[in-house]
A and B are shown apart, each in its own frame.
Chain A
Amino acid sequence: MKQRFYLKLIASIIVLLLNGCQQPKQEEASSLNQVLKIKELSDLASVEFTVTKIIKATDDSTWYKIGDRKILMSCDAKIKAGISLADLTEKDITINGSNISLILPPAKILYVNIPPESVAEQYAEIDFLRSEFSIAEKNAFLQVAEKDVNNTINELGILTAAEKNTKTIIESWLNIAGFKNININFKK
């Protein structure tokens, strides 16, 4: 009788160890319920910066896993910047004969584009006892790179370049339109 009790107890502990020590799965909130739509824009894109990112991922922080599992990837991100012409109002324009003064809206980032063809796997080392990196994992690494690009955009000076080029574009149009003295500034 006691033997059976001990055996049952041991079996129960083993089952608990196998099943109970797992971390609960966190269900990611689905973002599929976004409204699909067409949005109208009035954005004048004046500059595009292409930047490169190198992504290094290593999976060797767990001491009980034997063998290396590492990957080196690269991707390009194209950042487009310009101004929104919709924010330009009549109040921002002063005309006096052939003289014109414009106060344009400040430059902004229009969008960041990571073209799929720019993503490359540069190097991977997967030991015999380890599994290959999945597409989901590689995509997660690229998401980190994308976030990093978004966080470092302002350090690139793209907005200054966008304002400079926008000024050149608008000046050329106004020159053709016959204005002689053109003064363009940007809102702060």
Chain B
Amino acid sequence: MFFKKLIKIIATILILAAITYAILIYTGILPSPLAIFKPHKPKVEISATFLKEVKNMSQLLTVCHYDEITVDSIENKKGSILNIFDKQRKLVLIVRGKTFAGFDLSKINEKSLLVTDTSVQLTIQHPTIIDVVVNPSTVETFIEKGTWSVYARTTLLQTAQNKLTHRAVAAGILSRSEKEGQRVFTQFFKSLGYKNVSVLIQ
């Protein structure tokens, strides 16, 4: 009899405690048991913008190649009794990048721009890859197993930049850039009134 009563009292206390706990979780006063172990969104503060360098330039950007690739880094952990089930450290990133090609026009001078009454001849250097833009907003972490440093991220993104450059070159970005450069300059000088415009790329 006493035992039955005791169980009833304990059960009632437990139920009341559970209901109270559930209400506290629901109202946000207490965290849920799993939330304790979940990562919380950290508070991020960004400093004011410090101007570090101002660079004057003269570049004609003629082509932008958009691409998406994946890069990964996999390392096998050294034998440890703790690593029996998880022997690999793995980082897989999905990277969307923009590759810009164009011309460096800083060397245009009197020798490279020959002008007569109705004709103009411009000599410029071959186009090059100017920038491969891989920004944080276009990088997605697909798999991350183990701890990785910022340096590892940098190395992986530099690999991504090389891959994006090769793919852009294979897609013909430089030849497209050359044609576009010729078109842009021809149009520019024709609008200045020159009838014969010749753009030489050396």
By a beta-carbon cutoff of 8 Å, the part of chain A in contact with chain B is 2-3, 6, 9-10, 13-14, 16-19, 21-23, 31-32, 34-59, 61-62, 64-65, 69, 73, 76, 80, 82, 85-86, 88-90, 93, 95, 100, 110-114, 116-117, 119-121, 131-149, 152, 155-156, 161, 165, 169, 172-174, 176-178
Contact A139 B136 (CB under 8 A): yes
Please give the distance in Å from B170's CB to the nearest CB on chain A: 12
Q: Which residues of B contact A80 (CB under 8 A)?
A: 131
A46 touches B57 (CB 8 A): yes
Q: Is the CB of B193 within 8 A of A49?
A: no
9 new A-B contacts, CB < 8 A, other than A112-B135, A116-B157, are: A10-B15, A38-B173, A40-B180, A44-B58, A51-B52, A59-B42, A111-B98, A132-B147, A176-B110
Cβ contacts under 8 Å, B54 to chain A: 47-50, 161
**Do A6 and B7 have beta carbons less than 8 Å apart?**
yes
Determine whether the beta carbon of B144 is less than 8 Å from that of A136: yes
Is B61 touching A43 in the complex (CB atoms < 8 A)? Answer: yes
* A38 B176 Cβ-Cβ under 8 A: yes
For A178, what are the chain B residues with a Cβ–Cβ distance below 8 Å? Answer: 115
A139 touches B133 (CB 8 A): no
| Residues in A neighbouring B39, C-beta threshold 8 A | 59, 131, 137
- Complex interface: chain A residues within 8 A of B66 (CB): 34-39
The interface residues of chain B lying within 8 Å CB-to-CB of A116 are: 134, 153-154, 157-158, 161
B residues touching A (Cβ–Cβ < 8 Å)? 4, 7-8, 11, 14-15, 18-19, 21-22, 25-26, 31-36, 39-40, 42-47, 49-68, 91, 93-94, 96, 98, 100, 102, 105, 108-110, 113, 115, 120, 131, 133-137, 139, 141, 144, 147-150, 152-154, 157-158, 161, 171, 173, 176, 180, 184, 187-189, 191-193
Within the complex, what minimum Cβ distance (angstroms) separates B150 from chain A?
4
- Inter-chain CA distance A62–B18, complex, in Å, is 22
Within 8 Å by CB of B68, from A32, A48, A176, lies A32
Cross-chain contact of B18 among A17, A44, A49, A143 (Cβ < 8 A) = A17
Tell me whether A135 and B148 are in contact in the complex, defined as CB-CB below 8 angstroms, given that A41-B62, A44-B60, A169-B58 are known contacts: yes
With contacts A41-B62, A45-B57 taken as known, whether A136 is within 8 angstroms of B141 at the C-beta atoms is: yes
Complex Cα spacing A47 to B50, Å:
17
Which of chain A's residues have a CB closer than 8 A to the CB of B105?
44, 169
- CB within 8 A of B108: which of A48, A161, A173? A173
State whether A17 touches B53 (Cβ < 8 A).
Answer: no
- A139 with B61, Cβ < 8 A, contacts A17-B32, A51-B51 known: no
Q: Quick check: B184 and A46 within 8 Å, CB to CB?
A: no
B83 → A minimal CB distance (Å): 17
B60 near A43: Cβ-Cβ < 8 Å: yes
Q: Which residue of B lies closest to A69 (CB)?
A: B42
